[in-house]
Amino acid sequence: MKQNLAAQLFTVRDLLREDYPGVLRELKDMGWPGVQISGLFDYSKEEIAAVLNETGLKTAGLHAGIDRLRNDLQSVVEEADTFQTKDIICPYVPEDLRHEEGYRKLKEDLNAIAGKLEKDGYRISYHNHDFEAQTQVNGKNALDFLLDPGEGNKILAEIDVYWVKKSGLDPLEYVKQFKDRMPIVHLKDMADNTEQSFTEIGNGIIDFAPILRWGEQNGIEWFAVEQDTCPGNPLESLAVSLNNLNRIIDGL
């Protein structure tokens, strides 16, 4: 399982703007087997792919916003090909689309994109936050509407366990409904404070051992670690998360 851990590069986004290749090399030296791409920050896809090839870092999917997926799909696919991944994830819904009709259109469009690309092996997933719980569509919250396993729905899940916890649900029980429908899961811990702030894996209140155990048995290919904000250098936070994850895995 340790070979299936990836650092979500949104965690180190500010550092990437300064030295994307150097950050990738440091993550490899730290012991990360893979990374999840969340932007190029004025570097070319060829530059980044060259460093991935140099270091041996694998790509655990590519995040691309809904505007890019709707209006610039070919360039997204070209990036996925360059980074040698078949997983393309919609990571966010802009605030002006967080209403019933917006989610209906999102589901329709993501399914159309998935249908167009599936013959070439690409997979389209959706990454949750907690705001989907604030909108009802067809009698269920927007996330359950988007990821409903009903016939014809091609959208896969990239569940972020922190946001599930913040929504008041049990992360393990929630992810269980996505057996073999979630290639990548997002691991993110919640601090034991009133703000429910982000913290390093293993330093918070989420129990990751059963999530890891379930994931290994039920189709999870990558466990991607993301920390939206860090108290100091985000690379140091990722080092703590990796060390704690390796310790948890050793104890499974």
pLDDT in tens, 139-173: 999 999 999 988 799 999 999 999 999 999 999 99
User: What pLDDT does 10 receive?
Assistant: 98
**DSSP state letters, 52-107:** HHHHT-EEEEEE--HHHHHH-HHHHHHHHHHTT--EEEE----GGG-SHHHHHHHH
DSSP H helices, 120-233, are: 142-147, 161-166, 171-175, 208-217
User: What pLDDT does 128 receive?
Assistant: 98
Over pLDDT 70: what percentage of the chain?
100
User: What pLDDT does 150 receive?
Assistant: 83
Cα torsion at 21, 31, 185, 35 (round to 10°)? 10
User: Per-residue pLDDT tens for 90-141?
Assistant: 999 999 999 999 999 999 999 999 999 999 999 999 999 999 999 999 999 9
Over pLDDT 90: what percentage of the chain?
99
What is the Rg, in whole angstroms, of the alpha carbon atoms belonging to the chain?
A: 17
Dig out the tokens for 48 from the structure. 């980044």
Rounded mean pLDDT, 26-53 = 98
User: What pLDDT does 151 receive?
Assistant: 79
Report the C-alpha gap between 205 and 222 in whole angstroms: 22
User: What pLDDT does 191 receive?
Assistant: 98
Q: What three-state secondary structure class fits 35?
A: strand
- Tokens 């994307």 correspond to what residue? 20
One-letter amino acid identity for 84? Answer: Q
Domains annotated on the chain, with CATH: 5-251 (3.20.20.150)
User: Per-residue pLDDT tens for 200-236?
Assistant: 999 999 999 999 999 999 999 999 999 999 999 999 9
Cα torsion at 237, 243, 249, 252 (round to 10°)? -100
